[in-house]
């Protein structure tokens, strides 16, 4: 019964889902058919719009028609027939498929007609126009139109020669764009003409490529319009550009003969009629699918009701049997992790033990007492009861042992947990210690680096102590010069004294000469007074006066020489005073240098103290490294303790596994005992 119900349920469900899927598909197709009808209606209205019928080119320039055609392409593809389920009626299926195919055929004919109109309206011819001046052309417009043409061609076609030609034209336009602003300069006139000829050639080749039947079929409608625009712009540049001419030869798809726009209207009307037929078929199919879905839903409900009734009955039967002998398989045992198992007492084992005790002490014994003691059944029951009693005892002992193991395991787990926490703390302390040691070492390293720099500075500065000897030599030389100058000064003073003495002597000589002269004069006066001869008088006076004059002249010469000597001595004294001042300046400079040397010595002393600090720091670093070594030894010992703890954890895990195995064994044993009791 249950199998039949389930089978009916499955079939009903398949029918339900399949009908729902087909229903949604047909609803979508119905919507698409409606949109398709709308598209056809819009296309017909666009084709019959006022002014559109006069010129095919104007008609086909409308982007609206292009968009409608694109929508019709998509919608006709979506309306294509697909596989219909077997259970559906053949007549309706064939009707739907034929309707869809007819719709596709109608749209194909409409598309072909529109393509023929397209080729007819944009036939590319060579109108052979030339002329115009380069200066009157807006090269920007040409470039913009060519950019659009370039994009359209690259989107429409994969023809490599066509793309290459278009790229050449693009390069020519760039060159012209650079050269045209320089038209006034005669140097670039030839280049501009050359580039224009090159552009003409490229346009000719592009035109030749697009004139061919396969080239024309590669280009789309928009591309052809853009090509026309570019041709119009390029014609102003004096290029033989392609032009639109609907009255000349047709170069589009030659397989489709030209048709009249009225044929399109008829085709569209036929397509609309076919679409209406298809929609009706879809409506009937949707109606059938709805009925099928309702039937399937009814079947599903019936199958569900039947299945629920059967399941209720089965559950009642199972509950009755389970109430008497509750069964537990090893798979149904509570799945606990070993750690949790070790921490909790085995409750299920206790329950099992209680059941066994109940069986051994109560029910079974009572049932055995109800029958005759001598009957074989009684004997067998007694045997079983004894076995059950024995098993119960074993179970009690096992439960006790299991409880002891569980308690010990819990203790071990607790200890393990505490040890793990201590290990975490130790690990954190070790990390902090290592971090602090690393920071300390970094600081020491920076200090050592700084001190090394100071040491290098000290080495550099101690080299400057050699000038001190030079300064001492300079001081000695200056002292010698000063002594020489002092000696010269004393000698000059002596010379001056001598000159002064000589001056005094000369003065006395002059006085003597004057007195002699005066004395001679007086003698002459006396001689003349007392009547001596004039000749002797005059001779005596002349002689005396001559001597006096000579003496005076000698005294004058001596005085002049002495004055010269005095001036020289004075100049020498000035020179010596200059030397003295220079020596004083040198002495001051030497004093400054000595002060500088003293400063250098002071710095050397500072550097010496820095060196002492360096040594102290190095000593501290040595101590720090010693502490690091001790810490590392401690860490090594801690790692050894960790190894011991790992061994202990492994032992604990083994104990847990053993307890689990024992628990499983007890469960299995209980099952065996239950089966034995049931047997």
Partner 1 sequence: MSANTLSVSWSATVAEQTHITGRALLFVMGNSSYGVSVDFVRQVIEMPAVVPVAGSEEWLLGMANCDGVALPLIDVRALFTAEPAPEESLQRAIIIDCAQGTMLLAVDQITTLTDLSATEKHNRTPANYAADYLEYSCESNGVTVGVLNIVRLFDAVRGNIGKRVDYPPAAQNNNGESV
- Distance in Å, CB of 490 to partner 1, minimum: 37
What's the rounded Cα separation, in Å, for the pair 363 and 360?
7
- Distance in Å, CB of 507 to partner 1, minimum: 15
Sole window of 16-24, 523-531, 573-581, 631-639 interacting with partner 1 (rule: CB under 8 A):
523-531
The CA–CA distances, whole Å, from 220 to 67, 227, 230, 445, 607 equal 13, 10, 15, 78, 91
- Distance in Å, CB of 482 to partner 1, minimum: 46
Sole window of 314-322, 364-372, 521-529, 610-618 interacting with partner 1 (rule: CB under 8 A):
521-529
476 scored as a contact of partner 1 (CB under 8 A): no
Nearer to partner 1, 545 or 594 (CB): 545
- Distance in Å, CB of 486 to partner 1, minimum: 41
Tokens representing 1 are 């019964």
- Distance in Å, CB of 515 to partner 1, minimum: 8
Read out DSSP for 491-529? HHHHHHHHHHHHHHHHHHHHHHHHHHHHHHHHHHHHHHH
Q: What is the DSSP pairing of strand 124-126 with strand 242-244?
A: antiparallel
525 scored as a contact of partner 1 (CB under 8 A): yes
- Distance in Å, CB of 545 to partner 1, minimum: 8
What's the rounded Cα separation, in Å, for the pair 523 and 511?
18
529 scored as a contact of partner 1 (CB under 8 A): yes
Sole window of 139-147, 358-366, 482-490, 524-532 interacting with partner 1 (rule: CB under 8 A):
524-532
- Distance in Å, CB of 537 to partner 1, minimum: 9
Tokens representing 416 are 């393990």
With CB under 8 A as the contact rule, the residue among 154, 461, 528, 624 that binds partner 1 is 528
Nearer to partner 1, 119 or 524 (CB): 524
Beta carbons of 1 and 307 less than 8 angstroms apart: no
Any idea which residue has 């879809």 for tokens?
Answer: 282
- Distance in Å, CB of 538 to partner 1, minimum: 9
How many residues at the interface with partner 1, by CB under 8 A?
A: 10
612 scored as a contact of partner 1 (CB under 8 A): no
Read out DSSP for 308-362? HHHHHHHHHHHHHHHHHS----GGGS----HHHHHHS--HHHHHHHHHHHHIIII
For residue 125, give the 3-state DSSP assignment: strand
Sole window of 269-277, 290-298, 414-422, 517-525 interacting with partner 1 (rule: CB under 8 A):
517-525
Nearer to partner 1, 39 or 524 (CB): 524
What's the rounded Cα separation, in Å, for the pair 326 and 251?
93
What's the rounded Cα separation, in Å, for the pair 119 and 255?
11
Nearer to partner 1, 186 or 531 (CB): 531
Tell me, rounded to whole angstroms, the distance of Cα 421 from its chain centroid.
41
With CB under 8 A as the contact rule, the residue among 122, 388, 513, 541 that binds partner 1 is 541
309 scored as a contact of partner 1 (CB under 8 A): no
- Distance in Å, CB of 539 to partner 1, minimum: 13
With CB under 8 A as the contact rule, the residue among 121, 524, 548, 656 that binds partner 1 is 524
- Distance in Å, CB of 518 to partner 1, minimum: 6
Read out DSSP for 163-192? HHHHHHHHHHHHHHHHHGGGTTSGGGHHHH
- Distance in Å, CB of 524 to partner 1, minimum: 5
Read out DSSP for 270-286? HHHHHHHHHHHHHHHHH
Nearer to partner 1, 473 or 542 (CB): 542
518 scored as a contact of partner 1 (CB under 8 A): yes
- Candidates 152, 203, 211, 149; CA nearest to 176 is 203
553 scored as a contact of partner 1 (CB under 8 A): no
Sole window of 35-43, 193-201, 522-530, 616-624 interacting with partner 1 (rule: CB under 8 A):
522-530
How many CA atoms are closer than 13 Å to the CA of 99, on its beta-carbon side? Answer: 23
Nearer to partner 1, 291 or 519 (CB): 519
What's the rounded Cα separation, in Å, for the pair 434 and 595?
51
Sole window of 174-182, 518-526, 561-569, 580-588 interacting with partner 1 (rule: CB under 8 A):
518-526
Residue 144, sorted as left (phi over 0), alpha (psi -120 to 50) or beta, turns out to be: alpha
521 scored as a contact of partner 1 (CB under 8 A): yes
- Distance in Å, CB of 553 to partner 1, minimum: 17
The CA–CA distances, whole Å, from 93 to 32, 290, 449 equal 18, 16, 95
Nearer to partner 1, 218 or 521 (CB): 521
522 scored as a contact of partner 1 (CB under 8 A): yes
Query: Which chain residues interact with partner 1 by CB under 8 A?
Result: 518, 521-522, 524-525, 528-529, 534, 541, 545
């Amino acid at each position: 019964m249950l199998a039949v119900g389930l089978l009916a349920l499955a079939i009903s469900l398949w029918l339900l889902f399949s009908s729902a899927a087909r229903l949604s598909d047909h609803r979508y197709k119905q919507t698409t058919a409606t949109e398709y009808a709308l598209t056809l209606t819009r296309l017909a209205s666009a084709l019959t719009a006022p002014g559109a019928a006069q010129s095919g080119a104007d008609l086909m320039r409308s982007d609206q028609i292009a968009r409608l055609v694109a929508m019709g392409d998509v919608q006709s593809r979506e309306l294509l027939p697909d596989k219909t389920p077997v259970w559906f009626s053949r007549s309706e299926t064939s009707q739907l498929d034929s309707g869809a195919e007819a719709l596709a055929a109608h749209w194909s004919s409409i598309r072909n007609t529109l393509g023929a109109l397209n080729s007819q309206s944009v036939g590319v011819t060579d109108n052979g126009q030339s002329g115009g001046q380069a200066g009157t052309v807006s090269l920007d417009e040409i470039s913009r139109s060519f950019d659009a043409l370039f994009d359209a061609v690259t989107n429409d076609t994969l023809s490599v020669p066509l793309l290459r030609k278009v790229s050449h034209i693009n390069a020519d336009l760039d060159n012209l764009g650079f050269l045209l602003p320089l038209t006034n300069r005669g140097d670039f006139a030839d280049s501009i003409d050359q580039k224009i000829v090159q552009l003409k050639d490229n346009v000719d080749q592009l035109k030749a490529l697009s004139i061919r039947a396969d080239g024309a079929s590669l280009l789309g409608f928009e591309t052809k319009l853009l090509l026309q625009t570019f041709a119009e712009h390029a014609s102003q540049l004096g290029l033989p550009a392609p032009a639109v001419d609907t009255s000349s030869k047709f170069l589009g798809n030659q397989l489709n003969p030209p048709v009249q726009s009225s044929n399109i209207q008829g085709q569209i009307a036929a397509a609309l009629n076919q679409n209406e037929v298809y929609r009706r078929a879809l409506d009937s199919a949707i109606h059938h699918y709805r009925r099928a879905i309702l039937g399937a839903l009814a079947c599903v409900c019936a199958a569900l009701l039947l299945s629920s009734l059967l399941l209720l009955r089965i559950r009642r039967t199972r509950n009755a049997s389970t109430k008497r002998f509750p069964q537990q398989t090893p798979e149904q045992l509570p799945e606990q992790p070993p750690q949790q198992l070790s921490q909790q007492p085995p409750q299920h084992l206790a329950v099992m033990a209680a059941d066994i005790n109940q069986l051994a002490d109560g029910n079974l014994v009572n049932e055995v007492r109800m029958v005759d003691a001598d009957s074989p059944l009684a004997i067998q029951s007694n045997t079983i009861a004894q076995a059950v009693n024995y098993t119960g005892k074993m179970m009690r002992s096992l439960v006790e042992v299991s409880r002891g193991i569980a308690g010990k395991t819990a203790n071990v787990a607790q200890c393990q947990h505490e040890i793990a926490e201590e290990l975490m703390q130790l690990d954190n302390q070790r990390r902090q210690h290592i971090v602090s040691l690393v920071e300390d070492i970094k600081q020491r390293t920076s200090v050592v680096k700084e001190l090394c720099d100071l040491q290098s500075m000290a080495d550099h500065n101690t080299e400057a102590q050699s000038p001190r000897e030079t300064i001492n030599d300079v001081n000695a030389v200056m002292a010698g010069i000063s002594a020489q100058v002092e000696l010269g000064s004393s000698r000059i003073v002596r010379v001056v004294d001598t000159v002064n003495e000589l001056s005094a002597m000369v003065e006395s000589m002059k006085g003597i000469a004057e007195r002699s002269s005066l004395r001679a004069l007086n003698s002459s006066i006396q001689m003349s007074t007392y009547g001596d001869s004039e000749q002797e008088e005059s001779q005596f006076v002349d002689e005396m006066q001559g001597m006096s004059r000579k003496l005076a002249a000698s005294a004058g010469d001596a005085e002049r020489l002495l004055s010269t000597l005095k001036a020289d001595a004075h100049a020498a004294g000035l020179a010596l005073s200059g030397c003295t001042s220079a020596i004083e300046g040198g002495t001051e400079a030497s004093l400054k240098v000595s002060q500088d040397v003293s400063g250098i010595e002071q710095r050397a002393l500072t550097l010496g103290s820095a060196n002492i600090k360096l040594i102290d720091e190095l000593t501290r670093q040595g101590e720090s490294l010693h502490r690091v070594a001790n810490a590392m030894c401690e860490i090594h010992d801690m790692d050894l303790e960790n190894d011991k703890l790992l061994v202990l954890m492994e032992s604990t895990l083994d104990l847990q596994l053993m307890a689990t195995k024992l628990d499983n064994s007890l469960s299995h044993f209980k099952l065996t005992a239950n089966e034995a009791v049931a047997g």
